[in-house]
Amino acid sequence: MLQSSIHYGIHFGLPLVVALIFYKSYWLKAYGIMILGMLIDLDHLLANPIFDPNRCSINFHPLHTYYAIVVYLVLLIPKKTRLIGMGLIIHIIADIADCGLM
C-alpha cells in the first residue's frame, strides 16, 4: 500500500507541483503534457506477463532503458521539449522509487 501510494503520488503529484510552481500561467496545460509521460508504460504490453508487481521496470522495458533515459534527459534542454522531457523523467523517478521499495 505504501509502495503504491509513493509510486502513484510521484506519477501524479510531482508533475502537478512542478506545473503549479514553474508554469503558473498555464499550469493545466503543463500538467497535461507531463502526465502524457505515462504513455511510455505502453512498452509493458511487450512483456509477459504484462504486469508483474515484483518486476523493476528500469532497464527491463524498452522505453525504461538507460539509453532511453539519456534521450529523456536531452529533451530537457530545448525549451520546446522541456515539458515532455520533464514528464518522462518524473515517470522514471517514480519507477526508480518503486524499484527501491521492492
Q: How far apart are CA 10 and CA 63, in angstroms?
A: 18
Whether residue 65 contacts residue 59, with contact meaning beta carbons closer than 8 Å, is answered with yes
Consecutive 10-residue averages of pLDDT for the chain (102 residues)? 90 96 97 96 91 90 97 97 97 94 86
Q: What pTM was estimated for this model as a whole?
A: 0.93
Q: Tell me which residue range forms the domain holding 34.
A: 2-101
First to last CA, the chain: 12
Q: Which cell goes with 98?
A: 518503486
Whether residue 58 contacts residue 99, with contact meaning beta carbons closer than 8 Å, is answered with yes
Predicted local distance difference test score (pLDDT) of residue 31? 98
* Number of domains into which the chain is organized: 1
